[in-house]
Structure 1
């Protein structure tokens, strides 16, 4: 499992710029409207002090021109009104494409996550992935609104007033141009320092989110083991790490030099303008307009610190999102492959598989005939569940191959394959939906209520469902926490029956059910398994004896395969595991017969 900052070697280094441009291409109209509105707003904003300066000259000249002054006041009012409308249009357009980008990126990332293999999720924590699809996607929104918007305002707020100063009197450009050069140099250095600090902040937030998710998901274990204090301490460590990263970023933002450069430029411009006025080569109105335009440089200079900070946070978030999207080693979506009904044998041919280079299964070979029941037995840690995970491509073999109906799993269309395989595991996952919605999860199309009830009855779930206040409309807590283990397993079995699979996989699926209910469920499973290939992991001898094929695993290798009777005679491990149970059963029957 990786930390939030780890990148798998298979991740392609997609650059943030082209990736963002590809997503923004869908919002060209809104972006154009935003740019037009912003440019118009800044042009009009720069025109305001120019008009005010002209109005001053109209009044301060030897013979005041009141008519011209009144006209300029009217022009000023129109400029302010049009500027307000331009600002509204720019802001609305900005929010339209910034929120649209956040929505699209979230949708893309969620779709990508749904296509990822189990290997991918083994390497990433759920909380960190959640932070990418929520916090990092939101950082992209903030990157544009207000980040890019303020940066655009900053650029226009610098360029437009300087252009107007040049139009007013080219001699006055000395101070603002010198400031522009200093501003660019200090901004580049500012970005160089801020980039790693922003990345560290987003990574620390991912670590914090991952810890919260893991602790809340396992809160029962935390309470049962008395680990509240330890978890609280660990959380506070991560919270402090996030705070420290945020403070480091704030420190870099505080070390912002352009404001100091502007102060020198304003002082120099004031002295230069006053010198020109004193020597009669610049009018008072022009000097007032110049000071107003120089003052207009203050706001964009100050906002650069905040806006650039948001941009670098957005870039850091985009990198974390791209890491997930570009992790090709984690994809297991196989579209356009073989589509068909599973009607043939399941064959493992020399399959070897391991996690992160550590072999778990070694040279596994067997054939399960279509419609057969296969029991997989062996000591704890022998690889039983891992073997079953290869059936629906949860994992793929490192070597060898698995074929279903004569077709290599690697060539099957993933959707077609998995829609015909139902897996019922020990740890049943239910969703925060109604009982009926959980039952129909995985079934094709709408399912009639009568079919749902029939499946629940077959799985012995109907009675406890109807005992609740809302029956099949009862809401199930997250991961089924409002239900007992046996109830969750019965719902999972009913869900599998509704899916009508061609292959049924049972991983000790009745471990949390009492003996009487288990017998009823087994009868329902036997009925449902008719004509289907069934794989099961179970310690219960009664179920193993009824299997057509028994596979005995030990340390990831098949040490015996055949029927129950054959294995008792030929497989030492199998005999060692089950012979005592047979003797106990015979003793019980003998005692009962003597009564």
Structure 2
């Protein structure tokens, strides 16, 4: 009872807060038409489907007239075989034209939505990282799946039939006037009354449907996040908390479903009542006119059949109106992605296969305006040397990596590769110079071989893959797997251990043969045995390359050619380990603290 009470309160609140819904304006329809045109619809198929739909419509209008002749012929005891054959032919023509046109319309709808989804997918892959920082993955997924499905349903079920429906209505009304203008005028007086009732209901239905779409996007976001991090959920025992969050979303969708059901429960009886009333009036008036000799029995039957052929398209217009409103909203959401600025994939220079110094000139960056993460950073990362970045969490180390990979653009200043700004290179050529190994060891679903060759951009034979794996000290454990290099690693590589994933990531970087190697605390999450193997693999990978390391444990970088200290987004020191011990107080204190802790742990073991 308490849930029902809250349900009623929530529904009343939603009803009060609803704002008037705008009708699909010309600009919205223009965007929709432009979006469909950009999806390269199969025009020939659409034209043929439209012609067949018109044939079906005309055949449908002929059937009542032939039925009139048949009934009148029976009345006068003179069975006309031509009328019977003509009626059967019209039925067959209508059925065949309907079947073929339905298939072709569905083909066209699926083709359009496939092209649109392909375009959206390519667009999403070309969007810059800040877009994904600001938008939930579930919302983006909903644009590709749910919103495009709305467009497909409109095309296959309503839009192309619009012209045939108009012809059916105009032709049907003209034939109704031809058969009996008095009864036709009576019917036409009821049409405005029906519109006054059904159109407001259609707008209400649209508002509810729109909210359902928004709730579906929210639910998709929650589900994708929780399922993607299910191990974290179970490890910390938050199943009940996440169950409650999911239940809240499902309950809100349930509420909107109930509102929709109430409207449908209202629309159904009203539509049935109006249809029955029209039929009773026509039968009453028509019966009188047949009895008086003003109409034949065939005229009355033809009139009723034509009436149904006019009412059905009219009813579709109400649904079409509601669907158009939903699709205009979906179009706006899709267009917001398509209009978003992409990463500049093609600029003027291709990055050559060579090593140069990386130089930062007064680089400043902030994720949020007014909250700088890096402050006027000036530094040089020498070619073919190892440079390590150290500093407390939040000092800007990972941000610096993101700027070097061009996931973000500095607010001010410039990053150069030798004398050329890295922004002058094409993204593909610049990123092809970089090999990245992180502490998370990112893996894709697929085989071990798929993950080692991921992003290579060319075919690699098995021996080449095995050579990279051997240098990464990964070949031995890979060959011990059930299917060797063809073993499936599972979602995000969960079938492998952390050390195994790291060595596969290193093999991937070795196969790529990058000029610049970026290591983001690549051994921090490993046990001592795995770390030893990974360190040997990293030594092979680092040889002869410009290597940039993020380190939290100074013991892993004491032999670096250069160590740069970051603190609160500022470069506070640079030099070798020995030089910084002498000259940098914060670094000295950090080193002393870490090495003392390491000594204590060694004594404990």
Tell me the TM-score normalised to structure 2 length: 0.87
- Contact 2:357–2:417 (8 Å) recurs in 1: yes
1:507 aligns with 2:520: yes
Equivalent positions of 1:523-534 (< 5 A) are 523-534=536-547
Whether contact under 8 Å (1:116, 1:333) holds in the other structure is no
Match of 2:498 among 485, 490, 507: 485
1:217 aligns with 2:232: no
Deviations 1:324-380, CA, capped at 9 Å, x for gaps:
22233xx32432332121532212222222223332222112121222221000012
The 5 A counterparts of 1:121-520 are 121-148=132-159, 155-183=166-194, 188-256=199-267, 261-301=274-314, 310-328=323-341, 331-341=342-352, 343-357=355-369, 358-520=371-533
Shift of 1:502: 1.4
Distance in 2 between the 1:126 and 1:463 partners?
38
Asked if the contact 2:112/2:152 (under 8 Å) is kept, the reply is yes
State the match for 1:9 in structure 2. Answer: none
Cα distance in 2 for residues equivalent to 1:509 and 1:519: 12
Structure 1 CA distance for aligned equivalents of residues 423 and 29 of structure 2: 27
Structure 1 pair 73–483 and aligned structure 2 pair: CA distance change class (3 A): same
Structure 1 window deviating more from structure 2 (550-559 vs 259-268): it is 259-268
1:44 equivalent in alignment to 2:59: yes
CA pair 526-321 structure 1, distance change in 2 beyond 3 A: same
- Structure 1 residues 538 and 14: CA distance shift in structure 2, 3 A: farther
- Aligned twin of 1:4: none
Structure 2 vs 1, CA of residues 581 and 538 (structure 1 numbering), >3 Å: closer, same or farther? same
The residue that corresponds to 2:554 in the other structure is 541
Comparing 231-240 and 20-29, the one that deviates more = 20-29
Q: Which whole-Å CA distance do the structure 2 matches of 1:79 and 1:523 have between them?
A: 81
1:42-61 Cα distance to aligned partner (Å, 9 max, x none): 22112111111122222324
SS in 1 for 2:42: helix
Q: Which moved more, 1:239-248 or 1:79-88?
A: 239-248
Unpaired segments of 5 or more residues in structure 2?
Answer: 1-26
3-state secondary structure, aligned to 2:364 = strand
Equivalent position SS for 1:390:
helix
Q: For the residues of structure 1 that align with 2:28 and 2:578, how far apart are their CA atoms?
A: 57
Of 39, 44, 50, 1:35 maps to 50
Give the Cα separation in 2 of the matches to 1:459 and 1:432.
Answer: 21
When residues 248 and 416 of structure 1 are mapped into structure 2, their CA distance, relative to the original with a 3 A threshold, is farther
Return the alpha-carbon distance in structure 2 between the equivalents of residues 44 and 80 of structure 1.
7
Deviations 1:492-535, CA, capped at 9 Å, x for gaps: 11111111111111000122334455345334433333332211
Range with greater deviation from structure 2 (395-404 or 296-305)? 296-305
Superposed CA deviations along residues 412-459 of structure 1, whole A, max 9, x for unmatched, are: 211111111121111122111000110000113001211211111111
Compute the displacement of 1:100 (Å): 0.6
- Superposition deviation, residue 321 in structure 1: 2.2
List structure 1 runs of 4+ shifted beyond 6 angstroms: 583-589
Task: State the match for 2:75 in structure 1.
Answer: 60
Pick closer, same or farther for the CA change 1:20–1:585 going to 2, 3 Å: closer
Q: For 2:530 and 2:509, locate their aligned partners in 1 and report how far apart those are by CA, in whole Å.
A: 18
| Residue 555 in structure 1 maps to residue 568 in structure 2 | yes
State the shift of 1:176 in Å.
Answer: 3.8
Pair 1:588–1:116, CA change in 2 (3 A): closer
CA contact (8 A) 2:106 2:156 kept: yes
- What value does the CA root-mean-square deviation take over the aligned residues? 2.9
Does the CA-based 8 Å contact 1:150-1:304 persist in structure 2?
Answer: no
SS at 2:489's partner residue?
Answer: coil
Quick one: structure 1 residues 13 and 49, their matched pair in 2 at CA, closer, same or farther if it must change by over 3 Å?
A: closer
**What SS does the corresponding residue of 1:558 show, helix, strand or coil?**
strand
CA distance in 1, matches of 2:511, 2:572: 36
- Checking the alignment, whether the CA contact within 8 Å between 1:182 and 1:258 is kept in structure 2 is no
Equivalent in the alignment of 1:3: none
SS of the residue aligned with 1:428? coil
Q: 1:421 to 1:255 in 2, by over 3 A?
A: farther
Q: 1:289 to 1:404 in 2, by over 3 A?
A: same
- Counterpart of 1:579? 592
Instruction: State the alpha-carbon separation in 2 of the partners of residues 98 and 588 from structure 1.
Output: 66
Number of equivalenced pairs: 573
Give the deviation of 1:139 after TM superposition: 2.7
DSSP-derived class of the 1:26 partner = coil
**C-alpha offsets along residues 559-587 of structure 1, whole Å, 9 cap, x if unaligned?**
11222222222222111111345678999
More off after superposition, 155-164 vs 259-268: 259-268
Aligned mates of 1:104, 1:74 — CA distance in 2: 45
Give the superposition deviation at 1:279. 4.4
CA contact (8 A) 2:506 2:537 kept: no
3-state SS of paired residue (2:107): helix
